[in-house]
A and B are shown apart, each in its own frame.
Chain A
């Protein structure tokens, strides 16, 4: 049984932020949970799926974030309690429905957890989801530690039920993926029954039909709900103040920035000079509470990630109240005290405080700093991004690269979101030249594929993964076929949502709860739509390269599905298909005209260059035994032997 439910009330656990959020949902009696995997949000739905049977939940990995929010909303409309979780990009995907959902209102509680990634630690942007709360006008909560992540999630369900609106919780990577102490609360009895009522009055969203129309009327109702939210937030226990009664500086902060702020004050010994108003309810702001604290002093610092979101709302409030509370000096992102981009950390907050309060601080004694620079300079080369040993993507990109070289018409690849996005980098031989959001690779390729009328004669390729295919490739695929774009789509099918931890997707015959479900066949979809479809094995280097060259010559939309499961997939992990060896008598090392093709260009971490022998070697600890590298050595020195498992 999952440790999330096997312990009793009062149990002192150490939980990851995402586990704490999942536990909070369980304590709120969540009935339905849906989401689409995305770092740093995946563990929320994943943990709920593990306890689905015991806690009588329906949990699904939906095809994309918009669908997941619709699935969760349906549960709310049928008077169940539902949660939906996604990473920041997912909120962009779901935003069209989100706006209408704010207008229609909800019935059973509905909580959206959005996990942002300040600093883009595992994203290609550091976009914010918080502004969506303001844009569509729903309440926004931000937990500042692990206990709060649990308690606030539970409360979000109650708040949603009370206000009849979606409530948004915003986490960040350093909260979702960090761990800390959480004391368990009670798990409720579950006896929810689903039923959708629609026979009530037209304007009654609780019993009548559900719609954001008439807009004028429903928009006013949104604002009544926000007014009520403000009143509730005035006395929320998630908004706390610590510090002196008349601080020299007041800090307003939220989320994990609260922990950075506390650490900074502690290290500078500024406890008697600085007060901290930690806000858990960050939109709409509770005006009286904020006003009361702004009155305490004239200097205000706002510490938050990433955009100056609170900074703007607090400044508006301060301007409105200036007659009573006086003119303030604001420090934050707009004046450059804190950086406008990237994630924060204790040292950045220390630097800001040190400047405002004029307290000198040195993270390292200058003497030690000099010594550490001297002792370690150039000794720790960076670890650039690379594919795992045995990754089928490295093999696919090798063949794509060879095919483009042989074709020699300056063909290029439109990339998409997944591990294979690293095809932008040397590990994918830089074949991806353009990369945006999920599904955009094929959409862009569809556009490029029509530019022959303007003299563009470069072959256009696109890559996408299997999970991404279901998420966002269908509309651009239809578009490319219908509009006769010339595109070669390579679907790198590694049998799961690999980058985020092998969550199942519609191509598999199992769902999030481990039940058997019908698999939706990628090849069948593409064929039915009218594309030419071929299927290959990326580890067959010669045939893959040939197939790509052949398809690039043809008109219209051609799909090549390169199928080989991820090297880290449960069925492959720690099992070598081949024992690999570099036949030392055949490897002529530096003398070979290949100019170290294997380690200089191919660069699988499983192959290392022996500097003394000046020959290539297999690192048996690292090598995953996929066998692909036998195909790249012109001397035939890399040999494979079937492994005994």
Chain B
């Protein structure tokens, strides 16, 4: 459990998505990878009242000294991983700053208000433009499409973690991933998760 390099302390990661996308699992896997590296971890989760379809957000605090608030203060996100495009915008409004690094899954999940025709869902182009106006560090990835090729859209969450590692946003690698998923998935699901991780990592390194 050696620390490879020192990080900003505390380092603030936000994982945002929609209920049902495996947001909580992704945050636990990622936090576990950081813990394996010897960092102290605090995870706060907000998932609201509905099981599916609501905005879901995990706050991960990484530190070498102490436990931090499970809610990140406003404007203080360092890394934002959005499993759904407009969730990236929602998080930026409260936790954004000019230095935040943003990784976005491009697959939209329409809020019921959009389905009902009360609101419009912005085009992906509009979303990317809006994000890029705020920070130069924006990456878009079609993780759900890749996950469906693997047979299950939920794997998009692990593909996104692979991409975080591929983009070198955190000092983590396949070793930590392999060790972490053993704590969360049964034996029979390890290889497909491993595949998803590699797809995410390779896609952003191309």
Q: What residues make up the interface of A, taking CB atoms closer than 8 Å to B? A: 3, 12, 14, 121-122, 145-147, 174-175, 177-181, 256, 259-260, 262-263, 267, 345-347, 350, 363-365, 368, 371-373, 375-376, 379-389, 419, 422, 426-427, 498-499, 568, 574, 596, 599-601, 603, 605, 607-609, 619, 621-622
Would B144 and A621 count as touching, CB distance under 8 A?
Answer: yes
Assuming A178-B44, A181-B67, is B73 touching A381 (CB within 8 A)? no
Nearest A-chain residue to B131, judged by Cβ: A375
Would B74 and A179 count as touching, CB distance under 8 A?
Answer: no
Would A376 and B93 count as touching, CB distance under 8 A?
Answer: yes
Assuming A376-B89, A388-B51, is B67 touching A14 (CB within 8 A)? no
Task: List residues of chain B with CB within 8 A of the CB of A179.
Answer: 28, 31, 41-43, 45
Task: List residues of chain A with CB within 8 A of the CB of B52.
Answer: 386-389, 568, 605
Would A363 and B74 count as touching, CB distance under 8 A?
Answer: yes
Would B117 and A599 count as touching, CB distance under 8 A?
Answer: yes
Interface status of B148 (Cβ within 8 A of chain A): yes
Assuming A178-B44, A180-B43, A387-B50, is B113 touching A382 (CB within 8 A)? yes
Assuming A376-B92, A383-B55, A388-B52, is B73 touching A363 (CB within 8 A)? yes
Cα separation A607 to B52 with both chains bound (whole Å):
15
Nearest A-chain residue to B148, judged by Cβ: A621
**Smallest CB–CB gap between A266 and chain B, Å?**
9
**Contact partner, A267, options B45, B73, B86, B110, Cβ 8 Å:** B73
Would B51 and A381 count as touching, CB distance under 8 A?
Answer: no
Would A383 and B18 count as touching, CB distance under 8 A?
Answer: yes
Would A346 and B71 count as touching, CB distance under 8 A?
Answer: yes
Would A345 and B69 count as touching, CB distance under 8 A?
Answer: yes
Cα separation A180 to B66 with both chains bound (whole Å):
10
Assuming A178-B45, A346-B69, A375-B133, is B116 touching A385 (CB within 8 A)? no
Given contacts A179-B43, A380-B87, A498-B51, 13 further A-B contacts (CB under 8 A): A180-B42, A263-B69, A346-B71, A346-B72, A363-B73, A363-B75, A368-B134, A371-B134, A383-B112, A419-B51, A426-B116, A596-B117, A601-B116
Nearest B-chain residue to A499, judged by Cβ: B51
Cα separation A607 to B110 with both chains bound (whole Å):
10
Interface status of B49 (Cβ within 8 A of chain A): yes
Chain B count of residues within 8 A CB distance of the other chain: 68
Which secondary structure dominates chain A's binding surface?
mixed
Would A427 and B112 count as touching, CB distance under 8 A?
Answer: yes
Q: Hey, what's the 0/1 contact readout for B98-130 against A, CB within 8 Å counting as 1?
A: 100000000101111111111111100011001
Contacting residues of chain B (128-180) with chain A, CB-CB under 8 angstroms? 130-131, 133-134, 144, 148, 152-153
**Smallest CB–CB gap between B142 and chain A, Å?**
13
Interface status of B203 (Cβ within 8 A of chain A): no
- Point out which of A3, A180, A385 has the most chain B C-beta atoms below 10 A from its C-beta: A180
Interface status of B193 (Cβ within 8 A of chain A): no
**Smallest CB–CB gap between B65 and chain A, Å?**
11
Assuming A387-B50, A596-B117, is B41 touching A14 (CB within 8 A)? yes
Cα separation A608 to B40 with both chains bound (whole Å):
43
Nearest B-chain residue to A362, judged by Cβ: B75
Nearest A-chain residue to B129, judged by Cβ: A375
Task: List residues of chain B with CB within 8 A of the CB of A363.
Answer: 73-76
Would B42 and A384 count as touching, CB distance under 8 A?
Answer: no
**Smallest CB–CB gap between B126 and chain A, Å?**
7
Task: List residues of chain B with CB within 8 A of the CB of A622.
Answer: 109
Cross-chain pairs A/B with CB under 8 angstroms, 30 sampled: A12-B35, A174-B70, A179-B45, A345-B73, A363-B76, A371-B134, A372-B93, A375-B131, A375-B134, A376-B89, A379-B89, A380-B93, A381-B111, A381-B113, A381-B121, A382-B111, A384-B113, A385-B49, A385-B54, A387-B50, A387-B52, A422-B49, A499-B51, A599-B117, A603-B116, A608-B110, A619-B110, A621-B107, A621-B148, A621-B153
Interface status of B191 (Cβ within 8 A of chain A): no
Would A145 and B73 count as touching, CB distance under 8 A?
Answer: no
Interface status of B96 (Cβ within 8 A of chain A): yes
Would A574 and B152 count as touching, CB distance under 8 A?
Answer: yes
Cα separation A357 to B130 with both chains bound (whole Å):
37
Task: List residues of chain A with CB within 8 A of the CB of B122.
Answer: 379
Interface status of B90 (Cβ within 8 A of chain A): yes
Task: List residues of chain A with CB within 8 A of the CB of B47.
Answer: 122
- Point out which of B46, B51, B54, B126 has the most chain A C-beta atoms below 10 A from its C-beta: B51
Nearest B-chain residue to A373, judged by Cβ: B93
Task: List residues of chain B with CB within 8 A of the CB of A385.
Answer: 48-50, 53-54
Nearest B-chain residue to A260, judged by Cβ: B69
Assuming A181-B35, A605-B112, is B70 touching A256 (CB within 8 A)? yes
